[in-house]
């Protein structure tokens, strides 16, 4: 794989960008080596500055469920841009995207659009505190909800990759308002609620964890959280920034038939442009300004380019057979990888929920953050680089998800499996 131009740009990037990147996981610290630089994407592939074409299973970390530069999304954004990039006053597209979200996501009657998943989660937590008059937050170890103060406590994703369980710069008082419990452990939740329930505003969780690898909820776990939060008057927040329109069209809450009090969204609803949203029942959402007194605002919230891309994406994704087809392709890829690993004698543990999945280099089931961190990250790094050399781009971290798109073809999957067969033969 040619890399001269990427190497040159990497040196230049490090002179002006912190660590050479604008988001830590892009630095490839989880697999060693240096990142490549992308110049374009089309369908299921990206092309880097050295002319290498790669089958992409990262898809901008999930938003590109239709693939790169889908013609209907490009057309919608181009049309919107021709009318103006931003206004700071209402547009009809905001209404239509809000209607679409409310129609698809079971828990949502009203929605507030924001600019990122981080904004969505921090705002939903503020709303929960305003609604309950309580201060404490319960989060689940290994679930990542953005980089807001108070959420960088035993978070996953890049923090897991970099080995930093928390972050300097977060006041101790913020950390004291955040209580943590393991994923898939109802007894731990019950214990925390018994001790602090009267002061807990909300419990926030990725219902399908996607930032410590993809970890699925045990049978009864989400139902148990719903029952316990109702018992103690605690709001349940599902962070579906990743799982929304990936695990099912209505998110994990549709797939597992558990309805939270508030839901946060991002990624797919912007079709690759910066976006976030949070929503829930009208009686809770109407506590927000300008109706209520819980304040949250954003100059670029509901941006016309992002709403256009999101509406176009959801239009295509909602067509009969599209979502199921994407899931089926990922299942075929996962089955093939599992067979290859078994033939090579390499222990792996695979998970899949809808169109997101993970291949853990681990010899047994993984149910929580602690178990995820015992994966063989060195072996994953060898696998990553071997696949990249053969034209397949996977997440540069064992603790991230792989994604499938509508643009991936059977030929892409066949080529990926051929590459995996060659790489697994080199692993020890």
| Interatomic CA distance for residues 226 and 42, integer angstroms | 41
| Interatomic CA distance for residues 189 and 193, integer angstroms | 6
Is pLDDT at 307 greater than 70 in this prediction? yes
Residue 63 bridge partners (DSSP): none
Mean pLDDT (whole number) for 390-404: 97
List pLDDT tens digits, range 246-305.
Answer: 999 999 999 999 999 999 999 999 999 999 999 999 999 999 999 999 999 999 999 999
Is pLDDT at 56 greater than 60 in this prediction? yes
**What value does the mean pLDDT of the chain take?**
94
Q: How many CB atoms lie within 10 A of CB 413?
A: 18
Q: Reduce the secondary structure of 237-252 to three states and give it as a string.
A: EEECCCCECCCECCCH
List pLDDT tens digits, range 218-238.
Answer: 999 999 999 999 999 999 999
Respond yes or no: is residue 110 known to be catalytic.
Answer: no
Q: Catalytic pick from 29, 110, 154, 267?
A: 267
Q: pLDDT band for position 154 (50/70/90)?
A: low
Q: At 244, phi and psi to the nearest 5?
A: -65, 125
What is the end-to-end Cα distance of the chain in Å, rounded? Answer: 23
Domains of the chain listed by start with CATH number = 72-317 (3.40.640.10), 335-349+359-375 (no CATH)
Lowest mean pLDDT among 73-82, 174-183, 367-376, 411-420: 174-183
| Interatomic CA distance for residues 27 and 324, integer angstroms | 33
* pLDDT in the model for residue 246: 98
| Interatomic CA distance for residues 307 and 111, integer angstroms | 13
Is pLDDT at 37 greater than 60 in this prediction? yes
Q: Catalytic pick from 48, 110, 144, 256?
A: 144
Strands (DSSP E) found in 35-181: 38-42, 45-48, 53-56, 110-114, 136-140, 178-181
Cα separations in angstroms, 36 against 1, 184, 393:
10, 36, 11
Is pLDDT at 164 greater than 80 in this prediction? no
Greater pLDDT, 157 or 215: 215
Respond yes or no: is residue 295 known to be catalytic.
Answer: no
Respond yes or no: is residue 267 known to be catalytic.
Answer: yes
Is pLDDT at 419 greater than 90 in this prediction? yes
Q: Catalytic pick from 239, 261, 376, 412?
A: 239
Q: pLDDT band for position 86 (50/70/90)?
A: very high
């Amino acid at each position: 794989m040619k890399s001269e131009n990427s190497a040159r740009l990497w040196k230049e990037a490090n002179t002006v960008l912190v660590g050479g990147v604008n988001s830590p996981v892009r630095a490839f610290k989880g697999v060693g080596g240096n990142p490549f630089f992308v110049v374009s994407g089309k369908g299921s592939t990206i092309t880097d500055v050295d002319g290498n074409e790669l089958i992409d299973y990262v898809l901008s970390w999930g938003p590109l469920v239709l693939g790169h530069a889908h013609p209907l999304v490009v057309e919608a954004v181009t049309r919107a841009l021709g009318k103006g990039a931003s206004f700071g006053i209402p547009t009809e597209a905001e209404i239509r995207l809000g209607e679409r979200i409310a129609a698809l996501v079971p828990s949502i009657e009203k929605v507030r659009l924001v600019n990122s998943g981080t904004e969505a989660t921090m705002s939903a937590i503020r709303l929960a505190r305003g609604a309950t008059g309580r201060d404490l937050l319960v989060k689940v170890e290994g679930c990542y909800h953005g980089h807001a103060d108070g959420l960088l406590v035993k978070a996953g994703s890049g923090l897991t990759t970099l080995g930093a369980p928390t972050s300097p710069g977060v006041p101790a008082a913020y950390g004291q308002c955040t209580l943590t419990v393991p994923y898939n452990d109802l007894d731990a939740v019950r214990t925390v609620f018994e001790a602090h329930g009267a002061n807990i505003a909300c419990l926030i969780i990725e219902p399908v964890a996607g930032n410590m690898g993809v970890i699925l909820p045990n049978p009864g776990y989400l139902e148990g959280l719903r029952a316990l939060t109702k018992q103690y008057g605690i709001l349940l927040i599902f962070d579906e920034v990743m799982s929304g329109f990936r695990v099912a069209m209505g998110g994990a809450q549709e797939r597992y038939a558990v309805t939270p009090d508030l839901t946060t969204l991002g990624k797919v609803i912007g079709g690759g442009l910066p976006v976030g949203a949070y929503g829930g029942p009208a009686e809770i959402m109407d506590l927000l300004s300008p109706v209520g007194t819980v304040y949250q605002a954003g100059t670029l919230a509901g941006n016309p380019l992002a709403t256009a891309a999101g509406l176009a994406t959801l239009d295509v994704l909602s067509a009969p057979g599209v979502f199921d087809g994407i899931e089926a392709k990922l299942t075929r890829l996962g089955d093939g990888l599992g067979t290859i690993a078994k033939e090579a004698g390499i222990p792996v543990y695979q998970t899949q929920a809808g169109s997101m999945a993970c291949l853990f280099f681990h010899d047994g089931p993984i149910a929580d953050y602690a178990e995820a961190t015992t994966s063989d990250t060195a072996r994953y790094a060898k696998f990553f680089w071997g696949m990249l050399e053969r034209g397949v781009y996977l997440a540069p971290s064992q603790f991230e998800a792989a994604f499938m798109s509508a643009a991936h073809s059977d030929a892409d999957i066949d080529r990926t499996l051929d590459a995996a067969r060659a790489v697994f033969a080199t692993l020890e």
